[in-house]
Chains A and B, each alone.
Chain A
């Protein structure tokens, strides 16, 4: 097994006719993903690499069944597209970047109420190696199945880490990019729970970055609830300090948020932290 998706997962692509939407539809098809339809209002009836395009999700679901929708819809129209998918009981993966935070808050809360999953926004999606990809990861670098689960807040850095693992002959069960925005759907803790339950995953790599207290909360959760080995890698030691979110931000997050506080928290809970990417495979092999 893998987490969240498997070979049977049926996928809709929203925004399939756009540049990125069509390019990655082709890539996902090549990877073996079961894409049942695409959606683009006003372009119903067309085809993209053999995938039929519909005007709305409702129209798709009259003819076909689906589980997940992946969204390549531009930020200004993203909310209505995401809500359309959720209202039709689909889980969603939001690839789109620069989504207004107010919109994400609304999307995530509606999904929570309906018990549906949201991955992203501003994320690379999910790939279960050699089975299915709902995302934008480069295909040829995600071809080694194995016992490592990867969760990451980044996009391209996730590919980097997966490549280091594959090169060290450590295949991956599922690689999940949860997105880098302040408000996101599935977070570290939720992903960790899924990996803990997944029989195929033996060890977990957590890739974090500066800002917020999500890594610190994850570290505490790991120490209490995760029996599998977790190796963390945190970037942003040399990054400029971000814009401070007023006093409120400091009051909410307390002494958290810097690379140092995150690394110290992981260490405090006995979780190893890699200094550079090439150390991750070594720490996993120990």
Chain B
């Protein structure tokens, strides 16, 4: 779960990492009352959307007092890659002197966290990491101590402050179950390091330990995303017309790839997960139907899941909603014989082969 820049900076502030002066608004009218305490020559106006490269997208703009309201208004009226702008962070515009990159994320290879640092931070950090990889320093580290970091950071007048900031970022990683904490750029203002931006991603699996954040984020989901969240399934909208329900991320992806291979277009990714039952399949089907697909494909390979429970959900769904679009079912695994009998009574054919099932739905919708 990704936090907005402002939410991340609130956390930085709590850990005594310096951030620029500024204020958050959800309406241009809120600017006036904030100006007394935020009297700057120039302002950065930053849309609080969950996208990278905001500068290049035009989601960060600059203004002075005379046109601040206007710039804010125009940003509120814009959409960036489908995201509405609901909040703006307005800060003192700071001229960039030294720009560092500092981040911590996961390293699979090392089964640990990895600290990443560059003296050439900024929006082009990824390009720099490719063109001059030697300028990026990395250190896989589990329990950071100052003495490890002394060797890591190059000697400069910023060294102590960089160590200090890195230690704070590690504390945030541990305290918040973060899988990414990133400051880019980290800049020098009068010999203080200031986080000009923030990027924090919290491990979704650990949200039960961070109820306040979980609640806040839930408010930001779309209708269908929220339904999926409550149902405990993972859903992603795609652009095609064949609705897909399957179990296990790998099998869902294999199903989508097969639809593509045989010339169809999947409408979504929906993984009802291991051990899903009647409720997940019923509610999942209901969710997909609302998006008006041309056909529905169910592909369940049951280990933890039991086919008979899935069959019950399918039968209930078909009875409640009179389905006229092509509807194919492939189920195999735990209790498949019971499921086959149950579906047969309702005149629903249950196929054994995933490839046959995909071919059938692609053919039927054409």
Contacts and interface: CB of A to CB of B under 8 A. Distances in A.
Contacts of B354: 160, 277
Contacts of A138: 302-303, 332-334
A213 B109 CA distance: 9
Given A100-B209, A246-B180, A239 B126 contact: no
B224 interface: no
Interface string A247-278: 11111101000010000000000000001111
Contact of B208 (A76, A136, A276): A76
Interface string A74-106: 011000000000000000000001111110010
B63 interface: no
Interface stretch (A2-10, A51-59, A151-159): A151-159
Contact of A101 (B182, B206, B247): B206
B250 A240 contact: no
Nearest to B261: A276
Contact of B260 (A136, A238, A277): A238
Nearest to B108: A212
B4 interface: no
A252 B249 contact: no
Contact of A252 (B105, B238, B302): B105
Contacts of B302: 138, 156
A183 interface: yes
B248 A154 contact: yes
Contacts of A182: 106, 108, 179
B301 A160 contact: yes
A20 B275 contact: yes
B303 A156 contact: yes
A147 interface: no
A249 B179 CA distance: 10
A141 B258 contact: no
A112 interface: yes
A284 B129 CA distance: 39
Given A183-B106, A236-B253, A277-B355, A245 B301 contact: no
A24 B238 CA distance: 35
A286 to B, nearest CB: 20
A247 B103 contact: yes
A137 B302 CA distance: 8
Interface residues of B, number: 67
Contacts of B177: 100-102
A245 B52 CA distance: 10
Residue of A138, A152, A247 with most chain B CB atoms under a 10 A cut-off: A247
B131 to A, nearest CB: 12
Interface string B320-354: 00000000000011100000000000000000001
Contacts of A143: none
A152 B116 contact: no
B257 interface: yes
Contacts of A239: 253, 256, 269
Interface residues of A, number: 65
B20 interface: no
A285 interface: no
Contacts of A251: 116, 125-126, 129, 136, 138
A24 B302 CA distance: 13
B231 interface: no
B266 interface: yes
B250 A163 contact: no
B35 interface: no
Contacts of A238: 238, 253, 256-257, 259-260, 266
Contact of B111 (A19, A137, A183, A240): A183
B251 interface: yes
Contacts of B138: 251-252
B303 A137 contact: yes
A109 B111 CA distance: 7
Contacts of B113: 105
A67 B178 CA distance: 34
Interface of A: 19-20, 24, 27, 75-76, 97-102, 105, 108-109, 112, 124, 136-138, 141, 152-160, 163, 180, 182-184, 187, 207, 209-210, 212-214, 217, 235-240, 243-252, 254, 259, 275-278
5 contacts: A98-B205, A100-B206, A158-B250, A237-B260, A246-B103
Interface of B: 2, 52, 101, 103-109, 111-114, 116, 125-126, 129-130, 136, 138, 142, 174, 177, 179-180, 182, 184, 199, 201, 203-206, 208-209, 236, 238, 246-251, 253-254, 256-261, 266, 269, 273-275, 300-304, 332-334, 354-355
